[in-house]
């Protein structure tokens, strides 16, 4: 019996924090933050942005981006942390599989740049 309790305590210690880390690592950006950008560098500096295609047409650069949309990762991490402490780590039995099941939401946008490199138009493709 004593070895079972010890095994349970070690398991809870090793599992502790997995859901917190998983939710905190899911980085993304909001479409509002993208729309505030004025340059290509600004868009590329945002977390969760990936270039899908680049082409030039009529002296205009057109790029498509796949964006990982922000989904309250920090708030979820805080919630998991509070629940971990409140349940002495037992929350990880539910929290870790839940974080694994939450899939990432992606949005595709098309950005039109002027010759000078400033953003002329951003449109959402879906």
For 94, the enclosing helix (H) or strand (E) is: helix 92-101
More confident position, 20 or 94: 94
**Model confidence at 3: pLDDT above 70:** yes
Structure tokens at 105: 């939401």
> What is this structure's pTM?
0.64
Kindly report the backbone phi and psi dihedral angles of residue 69, in degrees, each rounded to the nearest multiple of 5, phi listed first: -75, 135
- Measured between alpha carbons, how far is 72 from 79 in angstroms, rounded to an integer? 11
- Measured between alpha carbons, how far is 35 from 109 in angstroms, rounded to an integer? 10
């Amino acid at each position: 019996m004593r070895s079972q309790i010890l095994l349970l305590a070690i398991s809870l210690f090793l599992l502790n924090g997995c859901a917190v880390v998983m939710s905190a690592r899911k980085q993304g950006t909001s479409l509002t933050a993208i729309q505030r950008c004025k340059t290509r560098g600004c868009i590329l500096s945002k977390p969760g942005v990936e270039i899908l295609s680049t082409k030039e047409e009529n002296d205009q650069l057109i790029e498509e981006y796949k964006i990982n949309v922000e989904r309250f990762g920090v708030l979820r991490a805080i919630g998991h942390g509070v629940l971990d402490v409140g349940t002495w780590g037992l929350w990880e039995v539910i929290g870790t599989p839940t974080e694994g099941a939450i899939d990432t939401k992606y949005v595709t946008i098309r950005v039109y740049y002027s010759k000078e490199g400033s953003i002329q138009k951003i449109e959402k493709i879906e």
